[in-house]
Amino acid sequence: MFFILLFFLALDRLLKSFFLKNPAVLVKHSGHYWFSSVIIILLTVFILKYKKKLPVLVRHGLALIFVGGLSNFSDRVIFGFVIDYIKISFLPFVFNFSDILITAGCLLVIYPLITIKSPAN
* 78-99 tens-digit pLDDT: 877 788 878 888 988 888 889 9
Checking if the pLDDT of 31 tops 60, the result is: no
Q: Pick the residue with more confidence: 103 or 13?
A: 103
| Euclidean distance between CA atoms 42 and 21, whole angstroms | 28
pTM: 0.69
Window from 11-20, 41-50, 60-69, 108-117 with minimum mean pLDDT: 11-20
**Backbone conformation region of residue 85, classed left if phi is above 0, alpha if psi is from -120 to 50, else beta:** alpha
Strand partners, 21: 83
Checking if the pLDDT of 71 tops 60, the result is: yes
Tell me whether strands 82-84 and 20-22 are parallel, antiparallel or unpaired.
antiparallel
